Structure 1
Amino acid sequence: MLITILIRLFLLSLTLSELFIRENQAPLIPAEQASYFIAPNGSDSNAGTIDSPWKTVQHAADLAEPGSTVYLRSGVYKQKLVITRSGSAAKGAITYSNYESEKAVLDGTGLTVEGLEGIITVNDASYIQVKGLEIRNYKSRSSDAAPVGILVQGAGGYIQLISNNIHSIQNTAAPTGKGLIGRDAHGIALYGTKAPKSLHHMTIADNELHNLVLGSSESLVLNGNVEQFILLNNRIYDNDNIGIDIIGFEGVAPSPAFDQARDGLIQGNTVYNISSNHNPSYGTKLPNDSNAAGGIYIDGGKNIVVERNLSYRNDIGIELASEHKGKATSGITVRSNIIHSNRLTGVAIGGYDKQRGSTTDSRIVNNTIYDNDTSGTGSGQLFIQYDTSNNLIQNNIIAAASGNMMIYNEYRKNTGNVVDYNLYFTPDAGTKAAWVWKNKTYSGLADYQSGTGQDAHSLFADPKFSNPESFDLHLQPGSPAIDRGYNDRELKHTYDFDEKPRVNGTTIDIGAFE
């Protein structure tokens, strides 16, 4: 019930267009119908009651009716589960859950992995809820296999993955003549493989995904024809590749017109210790210093709000890009996030080279971006890469703890971008602060402003964080960021990182906190 209330409260922060696409997103509460019980000492010839439980979750899944709940009693189950039976709007979801506070574990030790396969796989089903399970130890050494904690594929809707602990999913394939191509694994993966029918109204909330060995893949991924989703309050950490990835243009959906994850909300997630530097898929000599793994990565996605997330100690805090030439990541709003202590940069937009796609029509507003580029690469706090257009970068605190690079933009294919009303700071003297814009270096804010025409209303000043040493980035009274932001109409119904109304009166603060 709590998750329903939270999501409905969060919906109040959305614009009318965002509310329209999510009006049916709130989780469905299963109807009061049959309950089935599974226990390690059960038998599939039993009645499936609490006193006479079944042994296998698959047996329950093959019989479960809409509105029913399959409870796993305490214990370790070395079993896989394939869900093909759906719940319904009228009778409710089919729920797979631990029983009360008991610890139920699906353990993949010794189980084979056939192609892309989950310990739990949902195929072409709707009205499904999976919650409260520990899912672990699903591993492969084959480049032809991709183990997944929970895999949802095909088409379907109203699926909720809530409060699961997924860890130790691994692909440890050794290099072949093809290198490490195909060395893949995921914690949670949603693949919309059909068209025009999609995977839609997906809720992934309050899960933990950690200690994953992912190869060239991602901890939590939505790929292909996936739309109208919420990723809420998940914790993703200590993995060797991307934390959250929203992908388009990879040929997952059979029609290019639908091959793009879109229309979603990524809110309240905490992502940390995500790095490719010990991942041999990025270079077999370890550490490889690739710094390629984003905490949150929108790679070809469209029309997505990324707000109130905490992304730190990753290679890249948040990245908006497209890896496919001629294709754009577009319509992304990144607001009220805390992004600090990432190795390469805080926020990156655009393709990483001239063979990639573009980032267009996106907004990076009211974030606190602090103490990034910790590896000293010179990529700065904000990294603007190849082919960016019509993006707004506004009301952000962009500050370094050391180093002097604020924005690094070496490419000239950069049109229509507007950067303004930001607060910049580095402990070095202001004249040493540097901006690279269209491959030209500027020293000091005034030099950069006059040379580029950007940031006309921005300032260089100490933001006066409450305790930057412990990364408490609230503002002290008297901070120059207070009441200095630009109040545009799209911020009217939004909230700051602490869930306070962003607009209080006529003025707003710069940064993630109001």
Structure 2
Amino acid sequence: MTRSRTPRRVIALATGVITAVLGLTALPVGPASGAVTYLYVRGGSGCSDTGSGTSAVPFCTIAKAAKVAVAGQTVLVSSGTYVDEVSPWHSGVSGSPITFQPAAGATVTISGARHAFTISNQSWITVSGFTIKNTSRDGIYLSNATNITLSRNTVQAAGQRASGATAYGMYLNAVSKSVMSRNLVTNNSSSGIFLVNGSTANQIYGNEISWNANGYTRAAVGIDLRAPGNLVSSNRVHDNEDSGIQAYPGGDRNTIVNNVVYHNKGFTTVRQTNCSPPSSGNTAGCITGDHGIDSYGVTGGTVVGNTVYDNAASGINLEAVPAGTSSGFTFANNISVDNGVLCPNGAGGTVSCPRTTGDIRVDAASRLGTTLDYDLVNLSVSGSVIVWGTSFYTTISAFRNATGQETHGLQANPRWTNPAQAVFTLQAGSPAIDSANSSARGQTTTDASSRSRVDDSATTNTGAGVRTYDDRGAYEF
């Protein structure tokens, strides 16, 4: 089934609010004010990699500039397509990073390199404004790095959709205190953003992450967290081959807040090795997609204030917490609608998605220490809105009576502006308005578009906490 793609949204978030959630020090997201020295790159005639990178005689390659750039310097790259892999030799310092960015008005593409940027054992480096595509390995690869900022880049078509040749859009290996913001990470052959090996205290916010797929097995995720203690906020994550956002073993204590996660489902005519079995009208291909937000074998997570819609399996999922362990999970203020219901069959119709169902699902091993409240769920067809252990609940009131959870949960149409076109702002009269718990763990003072919480005078406040007028879901009315 063909999905219309919405324009890329540029989301400007208040960094102070985001860092407060994890208690982080605010990180610079652009050139430091003290960076007064510039190195210039311009391919073509008149350039020289044996010179000093002045505006009169610029370097020919970004790679050469990366060898000589030091703290406080900004590398300005003129328009063009470059093929070199950029590997900085030096680190910046706090307040004076090394910055790589296009020159004013320039459009810069890096295409065909192994990695466009490799930053290893370095710190305080900013990469902003590049288009990166057709790399043979991961678009941007960070390893054992700290205080790196990746902003406003487009990373696409990394690797190949064949076994042994796939690649991630952004790969963070043992990376800490870094920021990935306002990037478009799309159409790569593995997950969009991948965190592993203890990568922690990172902020992933305001990105659009979409259409990432292995193609031969259901595995590519939008944001894949295999590392603990990171903040994932205000991203739009859609149309990926597997789940939108997932935390897998190693990914404990992550905070997932204010994200819009939708349409992580689809159909491929290539029969895959890890997907749903064939069903009527689906004998040649495979239903792909999985959860909106998935937590598997992890503890201590926070999933708050997200908008989750029309994913192949259960919308918000928690499973496989180690036996006898308190999950420590908080679910609150989310809107989760029409998940785990229908999938395309490749012929313009739909079939039931045969994996897990429910707008929210917590498996039998994961109930201990899990709290759910102030969420809004709804199905437009018959089915289970919540799955708790082995019990399936078609109404939130039945779930509340049986478990004592979701004391303030709602089951209602959230009155989104236009969900068919992926517009998930709230309309007047939405039950999500002024009804959230502002003191829920992870709840922010601004929404996914950096709008402050506002008390709607036409709505009676039914929320709780330090403000009784926060709205549920990613967007404030």
Normalized against structure 1, the TM-score is what?
A: 0.71
Residue 212 of structure 1: CA displacement? 1.0
CA contact (8 A) 2:384 2:393 kept: no
CA distance in 1, matches of 2:240, 2:327: 26
In the alignment, which residue of structure 2 is the partner of 1:428? Answer: none
In the alignment, which residue of structure 2 is the partner of 1:212? Answer: 188
CA contact (8 A) 1:130 1:160 kept: yes
Pick from 245, 249, 261 the counterpart of residue 296 of structure 1. 245
Pick from 136, 157, 161 the counterpart of residue 146 of structure 2. 157
In the alignment, which residue of structure 2 is the partner of 1:184? Answer: 166
Residue 35 of structure 1: CA displacement? 1.2
Residue 54 of structure 1: CA displacement? 1.4
CA distance in 1, matches of 2:398, 2:323: 31
- Amino acid corresponding to residue 359 of structure 2 in structure 1: Q
CA contact (8 A) 2:257 2:442 kept: no
CA contact (8 A) 1:128 1:158 kept: yes
Partner-residue secondary structure (3-state), 1:228: coil
Normalized against structure 2, the TM-score is what?
A: 0.77
CA contact (8 A) 1:13 1:494 kept: no
Residue 494 of structure 1: CA displacement? 3.3
CA distance in 1, matches of 2:259, 2:443: 19
Q: 1:127 to 1:207 in 2, by over 3 A?
A: same
In the alignment, which residue of structure 2 is the partner of 1:237? Answer: 210
CA distance in 2, matches of 1:468, 1:136: 30
Q: Write out per-residue CA displacement over residues 19-43 of structure 1, whole angstroms, 9 at most, x where no aligned residue.
A: 53x1243436332332111122122
Q: Write out per-residue CA displacement over residues 354-401 of structure 1, whole angstroms, 9 at most, x where no aligned residue.
A: 999988212121111112223223612223235213122211111112
CA distance in 2, matches of 1:469, 1:329: 33
Pick from 380, 391, 394 the counterpart of residue 373 of structure 2. 394
Gaps of 5+ in 2: 1-10, 214-219, 265-288, 344-351, 456-466
Q: What percentage of residue pairs aligned between the two structures are identical?
A: 24
Q: Does 1:88 align with 2:93?
A: yes
- Amino acid corresponding to residue 193 of structure 2 in structure 1: L
Residue 486 of structure 1: CA displacement? 5.0
More contact order relative to length (CA 8 Å, sep ≥ 6): 2
Q: Does 1:72 align with 2:77?
A: yes
- Amino acid corresponding to residue 25 of structure 1 in structure 2: L
In the alignment, which residue of structure 1 is the partner of 2:105? Answer: 101
In the alignment, which residue of structure 2 is the partner of 1:255? Answer: none
In the alignment, which residue of structure 1 is the partner of 2:216? Answer: none
Gaps of 5+ in 1: 140-146, 174-179, 193-198, 248-260, 276-292, 323-327, 409-436
Partner-residue secondary structure (3-state), 1:59: helix
In the alignment, which residue of structure 1 is the partner of 2:29? Answer: 27
Alignment of 1:399-438 (within 5 A): 399-408=378-387, 437-438=388-389
Pick from 120, 124, 128 the counterpart of residue 125 of structure 2. 128
In the alignment, which residue of structure 2 is the partner of 1:283? Answer: none
In the alignment, which residue of structure 1 is the partner of 2:329? Answer: 362
Pick from 242, 261, 264 the counterpart of residue 311 of structure 1. 261
Q: Which range is displaced more, 368-377 or 65-74?
A: 368-377
CA contact (8 A) 1:266 1:307 kept: yes
Q: Write out per-residue CA displacement over residues 317-365 of structure 1, whole angstroms, 9 at most, x where no aligned residue.
A: 533433xxxxx522222222111121222111113xx999988212121
CA distance in 1, matches of 2:435, 2:472: 6
Q: 1:359 to 1:133 in 2, by over 3 A?
A: farther
- Amino acid corresponding to residue 379 of structure 1 in structure 2: T
Partner-residue secondary structure (3-state), 1:85: coil
Residue 88 of structure 1: CA displacement? 1.7
Residue 211 of structure 1: CA displacement? 1.6
CA contact (8 A) 1:494 1:502 kept: yes
CA distance in 2, matches of 1:464, 1:60: 52
CA distance in 1, matches of 2:65, 2:442: 47
Q: Matched residue pairs, number?
A: 409
CA distance in 2, matches of 1:225, 1:473: 34
CA contact (8 A) 1:34 1:68 kept: yes
CA contact (8 A) 1:25 1:228 kept: no
- Amino acid corresponding to residue 159 of structure 1 in structure 2: I
Partner-residue secondary structure (3-state), 1:61: helix
CA distance in 1, matches of 2:179, 2:324: 29
Q: Does 1:439 align with 2:390?
A: yes
- Amino acid corresponding to residue 161 of structure 1 in structure 2: L
Q: Which range is displaced more, 305-314 or 450-459?
A: 450-459
Q: Does 1:271 align with 2:244?
A: no
CA distance in 2, matches of 1:466, 1:78: 43
Q: Write out per-residue CA displacement over residues 146-197 of structure 1, whole angstroms, 9 at most, x where no aligned residue.
A: x11110112x321111111111112344xxxxxx4x44311111101xxxxx
CA contact (8 A) 1:302 1:331 kept: yes
CA contact (8 A) 1:98 1:132 kept: yes
Choose between structure 1 and 2: higher strand proportion: 1
Pick from 322, 330, 335 the counterpart of residue 304 of structure 2. 335
Partner-residue secondary structure (3-state), 1:88: coil
In the alignment, which residue of structure 1 is the partner of 2:462? Answer: none
In the alignment, which residue of structure 1 is the partner of 2:159? Answer: 170
CA distance in 2, matches of 1:61, 1:366: 45
In the alignment, which residue of structure 2 is the partner of 1:148? Answer: 138
CA distance in 1, matches of 2:375, 2:306: 10
Q: Which range is displaced more, 226-235 or 42-51?
A: 42-51
Residue 450 of structure 1: CA displacement? 4.1
Partner-residue secondary structure (3-state), 2:63: helix
Alignment of 1:46-65 (within 5 A): 46-65=51-70
Residue 69 of structure 1: CA displacement? 1.3
Partner-residue secondary structure (3-state), 2:142: strand
Q: 1:329 to 1:84 in 2, by over 3 A?
A: farther
Q: Write out per-residue CA displacement over residues 57-98 of structure 1, whole angstroms, 9 at most, x where no aligned residue.
A: 2222221121111121111112112223111226x1111111
Residue 406 of structure 1: CA displacement? 0.8
CA contact (8 A) 2:377 2:411 kept: no
CA distance in 2, matches of 1:344, 1:490: 26
CA distance in 2, matches of 1:77, 1:138: 12
In the alignment, which residue of structure 2 is the partner of 1:222? Answer: 195
In the alignment, which residue of structure 1 is the partner of 2:347? Answer: none
